[in-house]
Amino acid sequence: MPARPYTETFLRSYAPGATSYVVPFGYRAVVTHVNFVNLGGAGADALVTVAGVHVMYAIFPANNATQALATKVVAYEGQTIRLSITVAGLNCTVSGYLFAETDAARELRSPEADNPRDDPVARPSSSSA
């Protein structure tokens, strides 16, 4: 039976700074939604990257500014989904699907997946020596 995807909140934050999610070995993540609400009294900006590539950058005025992005961005095993926000009170969620990688999907994936810009997790070798 093929592995089923399931929904996942990869990142959720309301504090300034950066937070990240590394896709576990044997999985791929698809970011489908990025949502922001600025409840703070100051303007703020936010950045979401996947494998080192900017997916969303936004500047928010103070008090109840909102923004939502519907997207389809794939992060392969070992790649990082990162959220950076500048001011307390800017609430953000990054969500989507997490799929178990199959051998067939691994053979068909794009060449960029084998050469990610940020690969902090060493992948086990698939070849036998």
Q: What are phi and psi of 41, to 5 degrees?
A: -85, 5
Domain ranges of the chain: 31-95
Reported as a single tens digit per residue, the pLDDT across 20-52 is 999 999 899 999 999 999 988 888 999 999 999
Q: What's the per-residue H, E or C state across 2-69?
A: CCCCEEEEEEEECCCEEEEEECCCCEEEEEEEEEEEECCCCCEEEEEEECCEEEEEEEECCCCEEEEE
Q: How confident is the model at residue 5 (pLDDT cuts 50, 70, 90)?
A: confident
The per-residue pLDDT of the chain, averaged, comes to: 83
User: Which pTM value belongs to this model?
Assistant: 0.78
CB 10 within 8 A of CB 50: no
Q: What is the pLDDT of residues 60-114, one digit of tens each?
A: 888 888 899 999 999 999 999 999 999 998 999 999 999 988 776 666 666 555 5
In 3D, which of 80, 83, 79, 129 has the Cα closest to residue 109?
79
